[in-house]
Structure 1
């Protein structure tokens, strides 16, 4: 298990851990369909849905590693969906 904010940083889904914490605390990350805070423990098989501005990315956690090199980071998750939001009303429904 690993904290959600640390996973986002180590997997390079988010560049910095402080930014990962902010994204979580703003309610822009779901773990298995439920809103998650930065300290939420995640494990292999969990599905993360993250809203980045006008884009929603859904990934499945494949592997948890404490420290990952750049080329290993992409192996930590599988991209399931990537959706572009069309309007502000789409953003509010997340």
Structure 2
């Protein structure tokens, strides 16, 4: 599954266009490698996403094309959240 689509379906980022912009700015890594919006995700991958002053590390548990809002958080597990001092 494409990275931008996963971010939207999992509701980590609300809109796919915003997910694409964040990825194109180099603010997302998959298993330590800077990712593009078109990067392919696999089950078990580790994402690090930079949201402003916060770094969020999540592990991909499942890949689904569609999911209900209340089930979206089952697609990933938050490993850690940390503040970034710029």
Normalising by structure 1, report the TM-score: 0.90
Deviation at 1:85, TM superposition (A): 1.4
Distance of 2:53 and 2:41 partners within structure 1: 25
Runs of 4+ in 1 over 3 A off after TM superposition: none
Deviation at 1:84, TM superposition (A): 1.0
1:77 aligns with 2:72: no
Unaligned runs of 5+ in 1: 89-94
Alignment of 1:34-49 (within 5 A): 34-49=33-48
Distance of 1:45 and 1:66 partners within structure 2: 17
Alignment of 1:54-93 (within 5 A): 54-86=53-85, 88=86
Corresponding residue for 2:8? 9
- Partner of 1:83: helix, strand, or coil? strand
Unaligned runs of 5+ in 2: none
Greater Cα radius of gyration, structure 1 or 2:
1
**Alignment root-mean-square deviation, CA:** 0.5
